[in-house]
Amino acid sequence: MSSTAGPVRFGTDGVRGRANVDITAEMALAIGRACVRVFSSPKVILGRDTRVSGPLFESAIAAGVCSEGADAVSLGVVPTPTVAAGSARDGVPGVVISASHNPFADNGIKIFAPGGRKLTDAEQRGVEDAIAAVLDGDRHEGPSGAGIGSIVTDPTVVDSYSDRVIGAVEGRTLAGLKVVVDCANGAASTVGPDILRRLGADITVIADRPDGRNINEGCGSTHPDELQTAVAARGADLGVAFDGDADRVLAVDGRGDLVDGDQIIALCATDLQARGLLAQDTVVVTVMTNLGFRKEMAKRGVTVVDTAVGDRYVLEALSAGGYTLGGEQSGHIIFPAHGTTGDGILSAVVLADLVVRAGRPLSELTAGSMVRLPQVLMNVSVSRPMPDVAHRLAGEIASVETELAGSGRVLLRPSGTESVVRVMAEAPTEAEADRVARRLAAAVERLTATS
């Protein structure tokens, strides 16, 4: 791949696209070399999900790392937070090869800076520039002979990650709790069930037979129907569904009802506050978090800090304020005391522990944690970027908000990855939310037609 294909630009979660089309072996090798150059690290930790293209990109990244004189520590198939944990433990960069919840034909590459943290803007620019230099055929002379790096393994990374997750429950167990675990045929397929078994849970595992092509296919956090059926059929206490790289989780209660990220965060915030562990009585969420969550937190005296959509922004706010809990409606939940990134397995363990300690069904706990307002989401295609769409439709938005009179909420935001404007409306009823969303979507369409 040459520079004529355009520069490699990292979004909030790295690069992602069609494997061997948008994401190529040449790009992966350049990323491996860039990691060593930018961070001057003696080693780089690599992990991947179960996609058929994973070994291709892992091999290419490892080759790039070794060609710069560093060792590539190959963990194989592991959850994203396992790589972050290894990066934090050893103070070296980590690279994850995954397209998260996307179909198997896609793949992606994201980088953790030493310490298991997201890249700063300056680090991201440095990585992008280094990748461009490699792809442009720079004449950088690498090491030779004994200076070339090696591809090695280190099982202690997975062991220490598992021990850390188990340690989050402070010696308690999940004995007697029946849990159905949906691994999305992805990276959680071995580590997730093993951790829950070690904690004593009685588990049934589904979607844990990855074949390289079935990741996220009709399963996992984006397709929880099978999990809902399995929980109800087995009479389980709860179910948990991971996405392809296991950095997010959604839950299902004993009645088979879905429990989303907002509800899980509400439960955790209430529990931490009651135990005096919710720093500054504050929780960090994104602008997409349901109004029902905000109202419940206000009742409990919990301050809600809003960020833009993306776990990077949640992490930045958590770090800046020294807070102890944050996350997204999608199920990315972050406990800074236990990890540097969203962690579906950790979140599942924390939720299960909360249910055991409460001695009450998850359905009952959820009913008391927040009342979720109906939320309608629509995507409006646009011919060009519209970063100022909310400003240009401020009058229409104000009119809708006046009609809702505090009983609902609307949000317009341009997508950072697609040529669409995302319209969100919340209201006391599904019909009213749908009406409001359609009204604003039509306003966006009119604006697009006249631009």
Q: Which residues are catalytic?
A: 100
CB 316: neighbour CB atoms within 10 A? 18
CA 168/CA 328 separation, integer angstroms: 20
CB 369: neighbour CB atoms within 10 A? 23
Name residue, tokens 């948008």: 22
Residues for the chain: how many in total? 451
Query: Taking the alpha carbons of 379, 383, 386, 390 in that order, is the dihedral positive or negative?
Result: negative
Query: Taking the alpha carbons of 267, 270, 275, 281 in that order, is the dihedral positive or negative?
Result: positive
Name residue, tokens 């341009």: 414
CA 20/CA 10 separation, integer angstroms: 17
- Enumerate residues 6+ apart whose C-beta is below 8 A from 285: 262, 265, 293, 304, 305, 306, 307, 314, 326, 327, 328, 329
Phi, psi of 47 (to 5 degrees): -145, 160
Token reading at 269: 């915030």
CA 124/CA 10 separation, integer angstroms: 7
Report the amino acid identity of residue 317. A
CA 261/CA 327 separation, integer angstroms: 7
CA 213/CA 52 separation, integer angstroms: 6
Angle between helices 344-358 and 156-167 (to 10 degrees): 30
CA 412/CA 262 separation, integer angstroms: 20
